[in-house]
Structure 1
Amino acid sequence: MIVEPIRIEGLAALNRSLKRLDAEAPKGLRLAHNEAANIVVDEARRRIPSVSGRARASVKARSTRTASRVSAGSKRAPYVPWLDYGGEGRVAGRPGKREFRKGGRYVYPAFHDKRDEFTRVLERSLSGAVAAAGLEMS
Structure 2
Amino acid sequence: MVAKIHVSGLREFQAQLRAMDAGLPRQLRLALNAAAEEIIDYAEPRFPRRSGRAARSLKARSTQRVARIALGGRAAPYAPWLDFGGEGRIKGRPSKRPFIREGRYVYKGLEVRRDRVTEIMSDALAQLARDAGLEVS
Q: TM-score range by the shorter chain?
A: over 0.9
Match for residue 16 of structure 1?
Answer: 15
Amino acid corresponding to residue 57 of structure 2 in structure 1: S
1:27-81 CA distance string (max 9 Å, x none): 1100111111110011010111111111011111111111111121111100011
Separation (CA, whole Å) in 1 of partners of 2:128 and 2:49: 36
| Unaligned runs of at least 5 residues, structure 2 | none
Identity, % of aligned pairs? Answer: 46
Counting matched residue pairs gives 137
C-alpha deviation, 1:136, in angstroms: 2.4
Separation (CA, whole Å) in 1 of partners of 2:73 and 2:2: 24
1:72-103 CA distance string (max 9 Å, x none): 11111000111111111113563221111110
**Does 86-95 or 52-61 show the bigger shift?**
86-95
Match for residue 54 of structure 2?
Answer: 55
Match for residue 112 of structure 2?
Answer: 113
RMSD over equivalenced CA pairs, Å: 1.5
Following superposition, which runs of at least 4 residues in structure 1 exceed 4 angstroms of deviation?
A: none
Separation (CA, whole Å) in 2 of partners of 1:91 and 1:15: 45
Match for residue 100 of structure 1?
Answer: 99
Instruction: Check the 8 A contact 1:58/1:72 in 2, yes or no.
Output: yes
TM-score by length of 2: 0.92
1:1-40 equivalent positions in 2, closer than 5 A: 2=1, 4-40=3-39
Instruction: Check the 8 A contact 2:11/2:65 in 1, yes or no.
Output: yes
Match for residue 122 of structure 1?
Answer: 121
| Unaligned runs of at least 5 residues, structure 1 | none
